[in-house]
Structure formats: C-alpha cells, structure tokens
Amino acid sequence: MSVLRLADREFRAGEFAVMAVVNRTPDSFFDRGATYSFQAALEAVDRAVEAGADIVDIGGVKAGPGDEVDPAEEIRRVADLVEATRERHPSVIVSVDTWRAEVGEVVARAGAHLLNDTWGGVDPELARVAAEYGVGLVCAHAGRARPRTRPHRVAYDDVVADVIGYTVELAERAVRAGVPRESILIDPAHDFGKNTWHTLEVARRLDEMTATGWPVLVAVSNKDFIGETLGGLPVHERHVGTLATLAVSAWQGARVFRVHDAAAARRALAVVTALRERSGR
C-alpha cells in the first residue's frame, strides 16, 4: 500500500485516519442544522479533535436535494470555519467537502489541506485547483450523477468494476494535472449514484478497490443503505451498522473513515488493528 500524505501528516500502510464530519448546513440529514451557526460548528470541531479525529471535513451544502446553495453562499459558510480551525487546531488536517473549483480555490487559500469531491469530478477544474495549491484531492464515484440528485433506476454491468475504473481514472487525471500522487484518495461513495444492492456489493468487494494501491476513503456513517439493510431504521438508529461496516472496510484495507462519531470510530479501528496484528495481516 502507498503512503498517504496530507498536510504535514503521513499515514503508512496499516495506519487508519478518522475524518470527522462538521456540516455548516441548516438541513443536514444527520444533525438537522445543529452545527449550522459558526460557533456551533467551531465547537463541533473542538469535540471532534478531542475525540481523536485526524481530519475535519467541513461541508457547506447538503448532499441530497434541497434549497439551492450558490457558490458565494457555500464560501460564506465554510471559508471562515477553515481559517478558524487552522488557527485553533494547527495539527489537524482540514478538508472541505465541495465539488466546485471556485469554492476549492477560496478554501485552499484559507488553509484547507484536502478537497473532498464527493460528486466525482463534475468540475474538472477542481483538480487544477488542488494542483495549484498543493493540496490533496478525493476522487469519488457518484455514478456520473449531477450533484445533489438521487439515483433513479441506475444500473451497472458490474458496479465494482465501474467504481474502480472511474475513480482510478480520476486519480490518474489528477496526477497529470499536478496533484501530488501521495495526496490523492479514491472513494466508492456509498449510496451516491447507487441503490442499496449496489452499495452492499461495493462494501463486500472493497478489497478489490484497495488492491489498486490508491488509498481508499470510506464514507458510510449512518447512510441509507445501512438503514434499509437493517429493516428501515431511521438515521439515529444506524450507529451499530455504521461501526460494523467501518470494521469490515478497515479489514479490507480502507485507510480513511468519514464519520459522525469520531470517538466510536477510533475505538472500532483500534480493535481492527489489534486483530490484524494478531493475524499477521
């Protein structure tokens, strides 16, 4: 496995990184706007760092359908929080969840270390921004869907092959644009452009993705596929399913884990580390 470098941190093979979610949105599917205000978001960053997060992923736009958020409003929500997080927690890696190059440029100037493009390269200029500012980039598979849309009768001949082919091509394209190879991650983007069956297939066969050698980010925290798999559980009853999926993903070689509960994720990953050491893997 390749070494992952973000900011001045280095994660070697077998080392896991916890990425904590902090959303400055009034309509987040998980917290329903609890961290929308600047102060609430900053306090959430503090709690995540105290809980053991290596990375804080700041988002200004809800992933699913909802009110329109233009680039100026997205920047207003996230840029100041990036600056404040850098000042308050200089050792923490700061990520911004955005698909827009103009937003990426502003937050990179504000001090972000990583651009988390969950919508799979819909704005190819984002890779150029990452290259220009020397920051990392997440290359995700969203089934070629438009941002903030849900899948409708989506179909794949082999969803895992599609995920691998698409994310690796995005990653190689980013390298050609000048993004440091060691600062690029690929993400299967569970539930994005996929139904529950597709997402479960990706989760079962994640080792095929980690076998590419690119560091893999997994973002499964409290997602719909977990709720549906467990009989239709609502968002706040999906915690156990989240931890189970994280553990299976870590065992298969995933490196970075985007979560709402950093402390629980850290404990679950510690168990996986102990088991792998005992098994010699």
Active-site residue list = 223, 258
> Distances in Å between the alpha carbon of 81 and those of 24, 62, 106, 139, 219?
9, 17, 12, 23, 22
Phi, psi at 171, each rounded to 5°: -65, -45
Provide the sign of the torsion angle of the four alpha carbons 118, 121, 124, 129, taken in this order. Answer: positive
Calpha distance 148→59 (Å, rounded): 13
The DSSP letter of residue 90 is: T
**Please, how many CA atoms are within 13 Å of residue 274, restricted to the half-sphere of its CB?**
6
Phi, psi at 56, each rounded to 5°: -115, 125
Enumerate residues 6+ apart whose C-beta is below 8 A from 197.
none
